[in-house]
Structure 1
Amino acid sequence: KEAGLAGPRPRGRILDTQSAAMPTLPSDAQTLLHAPLSLVDELFAASGSGALHTGASVHIGEALTEALNAGARSVIPSLNAVRPEHVEMGALVRLVGMVQDVRDPEYYAGVYEEFSQDGQVALRTSKYRDARALPPGAHCQMRNDCIWQRTPVVCIPIPARTDWAAAAIIGEVSEGAPSAACKMPSTTLKRAAEASEDSDDAGVAVDDDAMEDDTSTTKKPRAPDVCTPCKSASAETAFARSAPVHGSYLLKVYDGVDGDELRVNDLVEIYGVLDLNDNDAPVLDGDASMLDSERQLQPPASLQPRLHCVAVRRLEPKFHPLLATVDSREEALALEGARANVTELRGAVVSAFTSVLGGDALAAELMLLCAISRVLTHHGEMPLGKLTLNVSACPPAAGAPRSPVFDGIRETLSALFPFVSSAILTINELNTAAYVPAKDHDANCLRFGALQLPAGAALLVDETTLAPGQLKEAGVRNVGALSQLCSKQKLAFDFTYCAVEFAADV
């Protein structure tokens, strides 16, 4: 299955030591990296009538597997490291992120007839792309019996990732790897860059640079003409102000993932084809209404780039960017070597916690147990296996805004764990921050909430900064959400007309 195409994930390396020699790849692998859609077209042409019904047989998984086995991962541009406007349009890219929202499946014309200027007719596929490239003088018409399905998924950078984890996620990058120049029109690239820069400055970060407040006022770039409904400035402005997170991508998932659908908060590794095309795409005869209705629900690619997924791999719940894949032979060998030094390693960790906790060895032991605990199961509303710890009697700050214990614990956790989030509670913070994901129906997007974290993330909350004051309605909701997350390991997403609880492990 395509879900397993990526195979065992190579161990990540720190950014300044991650250069590797350029691998020698066969010509087919080179074509896959730089023009994957040409391989899709060749495969479709050779598939015959069997590829017309669902499109499941039109995939390039085997070619991707061979390329990865040959060391191609290090030469595939990582969207975790480079901006999308700096990547070649139509080239293969990779991305590691978290599923922030899963939308309803959408239907598209998977097969169309291309009528050339000399009267010849050929069948083409539109899988892994939105725009259809037509020769001069040609036109196209959809096949009504070839309507295929794909699932739009919003993927964001993993929230609360530490600096070393972000570098390890990128992994090795080959020396001399081509810095693919974007083939977008210069005006489109400029708009994308401006929107990206504005998004960097927008919002109020709670802890991680990816966590942006929903009050951001991102500058609205002028979208090129695509179709009449897409010219709605109000819809585009609404998305710009309610964008889930800067650096988010709209994935188009075509085939199954590990035999199951993606779920909110899943960590995924993706190989796909990047699409930043905001220009006019050829509209199939009889297909305009379907395209218009779907485009109305999607932001311009300059604000949220599309990534057509060739392969998606769900990362294990215990994902760690520096460790081997869970249950793999590499992990077994690593554990065997670690057991020889486990007493010494554990003692060093406890000693680090003891130091920041003012010499309290018992509190340090409890801190370690709390940090490594995970939800095993639920008994009714009670999560079993997950521990929460309340540290009190912290020494007062000497001229500082808060106790030094908080910063010491945060630094120690950040050195040990890949995902660490912190919140410094004040009346103003509780009244203004967005802790819970909320649906924006005007922009048709799910606004990010600071408590939407990956499984295994450490959440550190400083209550010593609270002072007398009045909580508004939003503040009361935020306190309730934080309490529910700590006690029940659940987070209720706000869909305006109802709240839907999602399981957490924080």
Structure 2
Amino acid sequence: MPSSNDWINNPLGVVEEMFVQSNSNPEWEAKVLEYFKGKLKEKQAYSWIPSLNDVPLHYLKPNSLVKFRCLVQDMFDPEFYMGVYETIDPSTKAKVLRFGKYKDVTELRCVPHLQVDLNSRNTVTAERQTFYCVPIPGETLWEAFLNHSHTYARSSQARVVPSTSYIPSRQKRSYEEDDEMDTQPQKQREPHTGGSPQLHANGDSKRQETEAPSGQTTSPSNASSPLDLNFPLPGERGPACLVKVYEDLDSFKLNDMLEVYGILSVNPLLSVLCEEKDPSASLLDPTESMETPEEQRAHDPPASLVPRLHMLHARPLQHNNPLLPSDRAEDQHAFVSSFMVEMASVRAEFLAYLTHILLGDGLAAEYLLLHLISSVYARRDVLPLGKFTLNLSGCPPNSSFTESLHQVIQELVPCTYRLSMTLHNMNSLRLVPRKDYVANRLVSGALQLARNTSLVLDETRLEQGQLDASGVQNITALGNLISWQKVDYDFNYHQMEFPCNINVFVTSEGRSLLPSDCQVPLQPQVTPPNLEEYLSTVHKAQLTSQINKFRVYLSVAQTLDYSISDEVTKAVEDDFVDMRKDDPQSVSAEDLHRMLVVARLLSLSLGQTSLSREGWMRAKHIDMLRRTRSQPQTTVNGNEP
């Protein structure tokens, strides 16, 4: 375990030592990265580093190494900084070569009597980019709590002397109170559904201490407010962060999920809005003076509210399920291989659980299971392959059924959001991100979500009324998301397509007004007098270990590779021809595509990475049952058939 004054507690000291030893050799930067990447490869090194997601900012040591699990919400324009510069002490005329990398301010701010030798031949101007990063939208209570627990259980580095870079606006809790938080997962997260009752409804008071809530109004003045942390989902809380990126700028994209490892900067000089810019920086970048006040507020918020993180390493996240190993590729492969042995048995337990949740409807439970493991695995031209939007129709109108069902989904997946499709929400919510040219930033929307987020659209709440222009745009955006797995961001003068990978689940009374890949009418076999109590009882009957197995099962099934042999492909083609012989209108190419998707998901749900003849026949069978259920009943001589 690292000791004090090491690469975690004092990374700038490590960097400075390498810079001094380099004797102006430009290779020092590569050696710094190599050193820290080597340290992070050590066993359990990831768990030694405190997390900005889980530890209050005032408990983190300034200029220490921290990590941040986040979504890249916006990318600001590149900025220039002094990579290397030379200072002069006017009293002694002594010159010292210094580095500006991984810092927000130069020594000129810390040691006022120093001067920069602007004529020095050793001056190196460099470029970096700033990402505005937010916690992964829609993180569920159990996911946040498990990540939090892992950080506190493994790391002695997390609880350090409180930062003195600012004075919190509220009284800090004692460590004893934090210990109490560790044992109460229900207090770890603010509800994501904007007022919807949760299985655990208490907010995250740790995050409320130092962060302001995200504003979701659409007025430009509020969009540029320094208190608007620009979270995509209404009601979310957490630490937003400005991540300074120095290398591999082209390898990052908007909406990437990352775990960033970097040097934490909460310099108090950054906490004053509209403060005079660093004189050396203004000399290097004359455009600094051209920033509008709105742009300054968006790009230079107080460091006590939006800390800076100077990236040393970033780990792309294919998933954010803390129950799966994510440190090393070989660990992931070994874990998945061992779990695949019990995929079939876990599937049987999970299917039984979902059947109880869906009031005894085994067919609907089967399709819900397939939906939960679906994911876009490739794109062919504009067609996203692997998506499986499910429309569960026949849901009780004006009831809490969808709300209760979403609470169950919250206990199973790492990220989810329920959008109640009321007329007011459709006309007032901002679903599509838009560019604010005054503040020069991307204003987030509710559809700016991480990959594999479960989006539940509650259409049972839609009442009669008139959709305004915003409502029509929102409905169109949802339709494009479902059909093409893309969101068209609004850049005022044009739209820009951003591909996504979001699992959309629509609940409705009749057939949904939105498109879907599969519609399953719900046929309850039980009618409990108190639906909420019934679902709560079913959920509580599951052991925590069982629920954790379900959580692992869903994530593992999404990561498996899949293939179809030439022999099975030929058999499927022949079968399709035979099905169309008797009635060419009975089975279309669209039906074949849907059955192939179902067959793929059925195979993966059993831990099988290739399609078998039996798997294809099973897919045909359940599709036939679904279509039979979906067909409108006709009458014969006034009587039901």
TM-score by length of 2: 0.63
Q: Given that residues 193 and 417 in structure 2 are in contact (C-alpha distance below 8 angstroms), is that contact kept between their aligned partners in structure 1? A: no
TM-aligned CA distance change 1:293 to 1:45, over 3 Å: farther
Q: Secondary structure at the match of 1:240?
A: coil
Range moving further from structure 2, 266-275 or 248-257 = 248-257
Which 4+ residue blocks in structure 1 deviate beyond 6 angstroms?
Answer: 206-211, 234-237
Is structure 2 residue 276 aligned with structure 1 residue 276? Answer: no
1:155-194 deviation per Cα after TM superposition (whole angstroms, max 9, x unaligned): 11001111111123343324654423113154xx54999x
Q: Given that residues 97 and 155 in structure 1 are in contact (C-alpha distance below 8 angstroms), is that contact kept between their aligned partners in structure 2? A: yes
* Match in the other structure for 1:50: 25
1:471-490 deviation per Cα after TM superposition (whole angstroms, max 9, x unaligned): 11111111111111011100
In structure 1, what is the Cα distance between the partners aligned to 2:31 and 2:38?
Answer: 15
* Paired amino acid for 1:153: F
TM-aligned CA distance change 1:281 to 1:184, over 3 Å: farther
User: Which of 69, 75, 84 is matched with 1:102 structurally?
Assistant: 75
* Paired amino acid for 2:161: A
TM-aligned CA distance change 1:253 to 1:293, over 3 Å: farther
Is structure 2 residue 113 aligned with structure 1 residue 137? Answer: yes
Query: What is the Cα deviation at residue 387 of structure 1?
Result: 0.6
Range moving further from structure 2, 455-464 or 348-357 = 348-357
In structure 2, what is the Cα distance between the partners aligned to 1:133 and 1:190?
Answer: 29
Query: What is the Cα deviation at residue 282 of structure 1?
Result: 5.0
Q: Given that residues 36 and 312 in structure 2 are in contact (C-alpha distance below 8 angstroms), is that contact kept between their aligned partners in structure 1? A: no
The equivalences for 1:291-370 within 5 A come to: 291-292=288-289, 296=296, 298-302=299-303, 303-316=305-318, 318-325=319-326, 328-370=329-371
* Paired amino acid for 2:128: R
In structure 2, what is the Cα distance between the partners aligned to 1:326 and 1:84?
Answer: 24
Range moving further from structure 2, 204-213 or 319-328 = 204-213
Query: What is the Cα deviation at residue 242 of structure 1?
Result: 4.8
Q: Given that residues 129 and 275 in structure 1 are in contact (C-alpha distance below 8 angstroms), is that contact kept between their aligned partners in structure 2? A: yes
Q: Given that residues 10 and 65 in structure 2 are in contact (C-alpha distance below 8 angstroms), is that contact kept between their aligned partners in structure 1? A: yes
* Match in the other structure for 2:9: 34
Q: Secondary structure at the match of 1:123?
A: strand
Q: Given that residues 215 and 229 in structure 2 are in contact (C-alpha distance below 8 angstroms), is that contact kept between their aligned partners in structure 1? A: no
Pair member with larger Rg: 2
User: Which of 427, 447, 452 is matched with 2:448 structurally?
Assistant: 452
Q: Secondary structure at the match of 1:183?
A: coil
* Match in the other structure for 2:431: 435
Q: Given that residues 51 and 58 in structure 1 are in contact (C-alpha distance below 8 angstroms), is that contact kept between their aligned partners in structure 2? A: no
In structure 2, what is the Cα distance between the partners aligned to 1:147 and 1:275?
Answer: 21
Is structure 2 residue 401 aligned with structure 1 residue 376? Answer: no
Q: Given that residues 236 and 300 in structure 1 are in contact (C-alpha distance below 8 angstroms), is that contact kept between their aligned partners in structure 2? A: no
Is structure 2 residue 457 aligned with structure 1 residue 461? Answer: yes
1:125-179 deviation per Cα after TM superposition (whole angstroms, max 9, x unaligned): 1100111124352222456851111111111100111111112334332465442
* Match in the other structure for 1:425: 421
TM-aligned CA distance change 1:40 to 1:291, over 3 Å: farther
TM-aligned CA distance change 1:192 to 1:474, over 3 Å: farther
Q: Compare relative contact order (CA 8 Å, sep 6+) and give the higher one, 1 or 2.
A: 1
* Match in the other structure for 2:92: 118
Range moving further from structure 2, 245-254 or 157-166 = 245-254
TM-aligned CA distance change 1:237 to 1:504, over 3 Å: closer
Q: Secondary structure at the match of 1:310?
A: strand
In structure 2, what is the Cα distance between the partners aligned to 1:191 and 1:497?
Answer: 43
* Match in the other structure for 2:240: 248
* Paired amino acid for 2:151: E
Range moving further from structure 2, 370-379 or 489-498 = 370-379
* Match in the other structure for 2:128: 150
TM-aligned CA distance change 1:455 to 1:45, over 3 Å: same
TM-aligned CA distance change 1:204 to 1:407, over 3 Å: closer
Query: What is the Cα deviation at residue 305 of structure 1?
Result: 2.1
In structure 2, what is the Cα distance between the partners aligned to 1:204 and 1:359?
Answer: 27
* Paired amino acid for 1:69: E
In structure 2, what is the Cα distance between the partners aligned to 1:473 and 1:211?
Answer: 27
Q: Given that residues 10 and 64 in structure 2 are in contact (C-alpha distance below 8 angstroms), is that contact kept between their aligned partners in structure 1? A: yes
* Match in the other structure for 1:66: 39
* Match in the other structure for 1:386: 387
TM-aligned CA distance change 1:495 to 1:56, over 3 Å: farther
In structure 1, what is the Cα distance between the partners aligned to 2:399 and 2:227?
Answer: 32
In structure 2, what is the Cα distance between the partners aligned to 1:326 and 1:127?
Answer: 27
* Match in the other structure for 1:15: none
Query: What is the Cα deviation at residue 395 of structure 1?
Result: 3.1
Structure 1: 5+ residue runs without aligned partners? 1-22, 194-199, 218-233
* Match in the other structure for 2:224: 238
In structure 2, what is the Cα distance between the partners aligned to 1:314 and 1:192?
Answer: 36
* Paired amino acid for 1:240: P
TM-aligned CA distance change 1:59 to 1:438, over 3 Å: same
* Paired amino acid for 1:118: T
Query: What is the Cα deviation at residue 433 of structure 1?
Result: 0.8
User: Which of 485, 490, 501 is matched with 1:489 structurally?
Assistant: 485
In structure 1, what is the Cα distance between the partners aligned to 2:42 and 2:24?
Answer: 31
Query: What is the Cα deviation at residue 266 of structure 1?
Result: 0.9
Pairs aligned (count): 446
TM-aligned CA distance change 1:238 to 1:468, over 3 Å: same
Range moving further from structure 2, 336-345 or 346-355 = 336-345
* Match in the other structure for 2:399: 402
* Match in the other structure for 1:3: none
Query: What is the Cα deviation at residue 392 of structure 1?
Result: 0.7
Q: Given that residues 238 and 443 in structure 1 are in contact (C-alpha distance below 8 angstroms), is that contact kept between their aligned partners in structure 2? A: yes
